[in-house]
Amino acid sequence: MSLRIVVCVKYVPDATGDRKFADDLTVDRDDVDGLLSELDEYAVEQALQIAEEADDAEVTVLTVGPEDAKDALRKALSMGADKAVHVEDDDLHGTDVMGTSLVLAKAIEKTGYDVVIAGMASTDGTMGVLPAILAERLGVPQVTLLSEVSIEDGVVKGRRDGDSASEQLEASLPAVVSVTDQSGEARYPSFKGIMAAKKKPVESLELDDLDIDADEVGLAGAWTAVDSAAERPARTAGTIVKDEGEGGKQLAEFLAGQKFI
């Protein structure tokens, strides 16, 4: 039977662009360019490698996000994933990690899975907790933060590198896995892959399709609330020291004045 791999990929605001909060203190996702979270490219890469090793496997990429999040799915499809699922619904606006994990869990159950692979953290929220919450919701083992991962005979095995030790972990499938940025460079989509991705299926789901009520997600259903947010003050021009023989002394005085030395 085919090994069903679901990869969770997030569409995030481009960190090199200007990012701001909307009036309701949610992240403004409308006026900024976005992209597939770079850390999720590692998850796609590991899924593709596992699929290549297996006799028969299917890789589905899944995102919860706005209309533009399809760009993240297309990128993953052009890397080599087989199909995509996009959960999009106006009522998702303001959903926190508890709501996001609920939506992902229901979509994964509907899609069918043997293993779920996620990134170590998104590059915007960076909580790094979603895979663990997801495993809890699905009621399956979690093997997180792996820098090496393989699947054989219904068992997922991997290595988690800590500061003082490396752990060898394993769990029977179905399971949730997350992989780090040390798991291996993600491949670039080839021209052939980009063209093929245009024809791969992208299934669109709304909350109704997943039997989720609007009040379980969104700002109303969030377990967390942002009370206030302020823009970081613009950077000042700084102090320019013109070296006319006294540059070193002036530099030392500046650092001492700031209590750096």
Query: Which residue has the closest beta carbon to ligand FAD?
Result: 125
Contacts of 209 (CB under 8 A, 6+ apart): 110
Decide: helix, strand or coil at residue 178: strand
Per-residue contact flags (x/-) with ligand FAD for residues 174 to 213, judged by CB under 6 A: ----------------------------------------
Closest CA to 46 of 177, 202, 197: 177
> What is d(CA 98, CA 257) in angstroms, rounded to the nearest whole number?
46
Q: Determine which residue in the list 9, 76, 105, 143 makes contact with ligand FAD, applying CB under 6 A.
A: 9
* 45-84 residues near ligand FAD, rule: CB under 6 A: 62-66
Query: What is the C-alpha to C-alpha distance for residues 171 and 160, in angstroms, rounded to an integer?
Result: 13
- Backbone φ and ψ for 119, nearest 5 degrees, come out as -80, 170
Distance, in Å, from the CA atom of 13 to the CA atom of 163, rounded to the nearest integer, reads 31
State which of residues 79, 108, 121, 151 lies at the interface with ligand FAD (CB under 6 A). Answer: 121
5 touching ligand FAD, by CB under 6 A:
no
Q: Which is nearer to ligand FAD, 17 or 247 (CB)?
A: 17
Position 143 contacts ligand FAD (CB under 6 A): no
| Interatomic CA distance for residues 67 and 30, integer angstroms | 10
Q: In the bound complex, what is the minimum distance in angstroms from residue 97's beta carbon to ligand FAD? A: 3
**Residue ranges that bind ligand FAD, judged by CB under 6 A:** 8-10, 26, 29, 37, 39-40, 43, 62-66, 92-97, 100, 104, 118-119, 121-122, 125-131, 224
